[in-house]
Structure 1
Amino acid sequence: MKDLDAMSGLLAVRLGAVRAVPSGVGDLARFRDSWPERSVELHAAVDGLGVAETAAAREFAVVRAKVAAPGLPTPPRAAPGLRARLRRADAMARRRQWARVAADCAELDEAVTAARRRADELHAAATALLRRRDELRGGLEAYVAHAAAAGLSSGHERAARLLDTAPCDLRASARAVEAYRSALAARLGKR
C-alpha cells in the first residue's frame, strides 16, 4: 500500500499540469506539443488506478471471506472505461483534433483522480474491517491472559468462537468481547 500511496502522490503532482484546458491557438499549440508527455502521464495514472482497484478488489475478497455483512459496495472498476476513453483521446490526437483532446484530457484527469480517491477509500475501509477483527482478537487474548494470571477460570469461549467463525460477525464479536471484559473486571473486583 505504501508504493500505491507514493505513486498516487507522484501522479497527482505530475498531472496537475493537465488540469487546465487550453483555450487559445497558442494554448492549443503548447498543448499539442506537450501531448506525448501528457499522454504518458495519463496512461500511467490509469495504470496506477487499475493497480489500486485490483488491490481494493483483493482486499474486498478477503474481507468477504472473513467478515459477515461487511457493508462494502461492489469493488470499483473505473480503470477499463477510463483506459478506453484515453485510447479515444490518443486516436483524436493522431487526427490532430487538439481542442477535443484537450477537453477530454481535462475530463479524464478529473475522472482518474476521483476514481483513484474512491478506490483508495474503499481499500482503506476494507482494511479497517480486518484490523478491527484483529484488534478484537488481540484484546480477547489479553483479557484471557490476565484472567489466567489471576487464577480465574475462563468464560471467553463465546467471544473466541464468534471471532474464529468465518465469516465473523464483528458486531456480535465486539459485544461478546466487551461482555467478557466486563465480567472479568467484576470478578477481579470481587477478589
Structure 2
Amino acid sequence: MSRDEVDRTLARLRDEKERISTALLELEAHQGYQLLEGAALNGETLRVQSDVRAGMASLWGLFDLYGRALGAAEDLRARHPRPGQAQLTELTRLLAGPSVELPVTEVPLERRTLLSVPSGEKLTLRAAVERMTPLYEEVAQAVAALDTVWSALLSRLAEVEAERRAAEDLLESLGGVEPELDRLRADLDAVAAVVRGDPMALARGDRADTGRLDAIRTGLAGVRRGLEEAERVRDGFADRLRGVADVLDLLRGTEEEARRLRDEVLAKIASPVLPDLPDMSAALTDRLAAVGGPGRGAAVRGGGWTDLAARVAELEKAANAALERARETAGVIRGLLDRREELRGRLEAYRVKAARLGRAEDAELARIYDQARGTLWTSPCDLRKATVTLSEYQQAINARAKGTNR
C-alpha cells in the first residue's frame, strides 16, 4: 500500500471498529440480554443462556484480537510520519494480511501426527469481521426471541399476580378460607417458576404461550367476583336479610290465601282437581334464622363471608322461587272460582240474547236455562255439567236465531 492508501484504510477501519464496539455494547444493554444475565435458569432457557454467553465471549474475543491488530498498525503509523518501504510493507500485512492470530486450539486426535504442534488460525481484519458478523446475528436473534417471549410472559404474570393479590386482600378482610383460591395460588406458583426459570419452555415458535396463565387469571377473576359479592353481603347484610324476610312475609300470605281458596273451592265446586298446596314458608324461615341468627358469628369465622354470601344468595333465590310457585298455585285454584263466575255471566248474556230474539217465553229454552242456572248456583257446583248445559243453551239459541233470520 502507498502511504495514502494506508491512511485511508486506517480511517475506515477505525470507524468500523467503533461501529462494532457500539453494536456489541448495545447488544449487552438489550433487555433480553440483561434478563439472561440476571437470572438463574434451567431447561431450554439455560441452553439459550449458555449459547448466548459463549457467543458473546467469542465476539468480544475476536473483537479484542481485531483491535490489537488494528492498534499495532496505528502505533506503527504514528511512529513513522514518513514511512519507508519496510514500514509500508508491515502496515500492508497488518491491515490487509493475516494479522489477527486466534488462540492456539487443540488439534483433533484424528488430525494429529506424532510430531505435530498445534498452531493458531490467522485471519485478516476483513475475515475477522466476516467471522464476527454471523455470530453476532445468531446471538442477537436468540436474545430478541427470548426477549419477545419472556417479556410477554412476565407482563401477563404481573397481571395474574395482581389479580391474585386483589383476591387475597379481599379474603383477608372477609376472613375464612377459600379452597379455590388456594388451588389457583398453587397453580400460579408452579407456572411462575417456569416463567422465571425456563420461559422458553412456554414458547410456541416466536410467541409466548400464555394459555395456562390466562386460565389461572380467569379462575382468579371468578374468585374475586365471589369475594366482592361476599363483601357486598357483609356491608349490606342486614338489608339483605330484611329483603328475604319481606319475601317470606309475602310467601306466608300467599300460602294462606291458597289454603283459603282451596277451602272455598271444596265448598263451592264439585270434585275439583286441585294442585298441591304450597308449604315452603316455614322451612325457608328456619333457613333465614340459621343465616342471621346467633350462630352467624361461628359461620363467618369458619367459612367467612364468602360462604355466608353463597347461603344468602341461595336463600334469596329459593324464597323468590317459592313465592312465584305459591302465586301460580293460588292462581290455579282461584281459576276454578273464576270459571264458575264466567259461566254464570255467559248464561245471563245468552238469556238476554234469547229475550231480544223474542224467545223469552220459549219453553224449551226456559227449561235449559233453569237447568244451567240450577247447576251454576248450587254448591258444590259441577263445572263440567254446567259447561255442557251452557253449551246446549247457546246452541239452542243460535238455532232459533237462524230460524228468525230466515
Which bracket does the TM-score occupy, shorter chain normalised? 0.7 to 0.9
Q: What displacement does 1:27 show?
A: 4.5
| Pair 142,28 (structure 1): closer, same or farther in 2 beyond 3 Å | closer
Query: Are the counterparts in 1 of residues 265 and 337 from structure 2 also a CA contact under 8 Å?
Result: yes
Please name the residue that 2:267 is paired with: 65
Counterpart position of 2:107: none
Number of residue pairs matched? 170
CA-CA distance at 1:42 after TM superposition: 1.1
Aligned residue among 332, 340, 361 for 1:125? 332
Q: CA deviation at 1:124?
A: 1.5
Report if aligned partners of 2:248, 2:284 keep a CA contact under 8 Å in 1: yes
Pick closer, same or farther for the CA change 1:116–1:22 going to 2, 3 Å: farther
Query: Please, which moves more after superposition, 77-86 or 55-64?
Result: 55-64
- For residues 80-126 of structure 1, give each alpha carbon's deviation from its aligned partner in whole angstroms, at most 9, with x where no partner exists: 11001100111342435233322221111111111111111112212
Aligned twin of 2:395: 182
Q: What percent of counterpart residues are identical?
A: 34
Partner residue, 2:248: 46
Aligned ranges 1:89-168 → 2 under 5 Å = 89-91=291-293, 92-97=295-300, 98-149=305-356, 150=358, 151-153=360-362, 154-155=366-367, 156-168=369-381
Q: Is 1:55 the equivalent of 2:257? A: yes
Listed one character per residue, the Cα deviations across residues 49-91 of structure 1 (whole Å, up to 9, x for unaligned) are 1112212222222222212232112321111110011001113
Superposition CA RMSD, Å = 2.1
Q: Secondary structure at the match of 2:277?
A: coil
Q: Structure 2: state its 5+ residue gaps.
A: 1-223
- AA aligned to 1:160 is R
Judge conservation of contact 2:354–2:397 (CA < 8 Å) in 1. yes
Decide whether the 8 Å contact of 2:229 with 2:309 is kept in 1: no
Cα distance in 1, alignment partners of residues 229 and 329 from structure 2: 38
Deviation, structure 1 residue 29: 3.6
Hey, what's the Cα distance between the residues in 1 that align with 2:380 and 2:315? Answer: 38
User: What does the per-residue CA deviation read over 1:34-58, in whole Å, with 9 as the maximum and x for residues that have no partner?
Assistant: 2111111111111111112212222
User: Residue 226 of structure 2 corresponds to which residue in structure 1?
Assistant: 23
Give 1:9's aligned residue. Answer: none
Shift of 1:188: 3.3
Compared with structure 1, are the counterparts of its residues 27 and 120 closer, same or farther at alpha carbon in structure 2 (3 Å cutoff)?
closer
Q: Which whole-Å deviations, capped at 9, do the CAs of 1:162-188 have from their partners, x for residues lacking one?
A: 112212121211110010111122233
- Quick check: 2:230–2:308 contact (8 Å CA) kept in 1? no
Change (3 A) 1:148 1:28: closer
Unaligned runs of 5+ residues in structure 1 are 1-20
Distance (whole Å) between structure 2 residues aligned to residue 29 and residue 188 of structure 1: 73
Give the alignment's TM-score, normalised by structure 1. 0.79
- Per chain length, whose mean CA-contact separation is higher, i.e. which structure has more relative contact order (CA < 8 Å, sep 6+)? 1
Give the direction of change, closer, same or farther, for the CA distance of 1:124–1:63 in structure 2 (3 Å limit).
same
The answer on 1:171 being equivalent to 2:384 is yes
Structure 1 residue 22: Cα displacement: 6.5
CA distance in 2, matches of 1:147, 1:186: 11
Preserved CA contact (<8 Å) 1:67 1:169: yes
Following the alignment from structure 2 to structure 1, what is the Cα–Cα distance between the partners of residues 240 and 296? 11
How far does residue 152 in structure 1 lie from its aligned partner after superposition? Answer: 3.2
State the AA in 2 paired with 1:93: R
* In structure 2, C-alpha distance between the alignment counterparts of 1:28 and 1:148, rounded to whole Å: 70
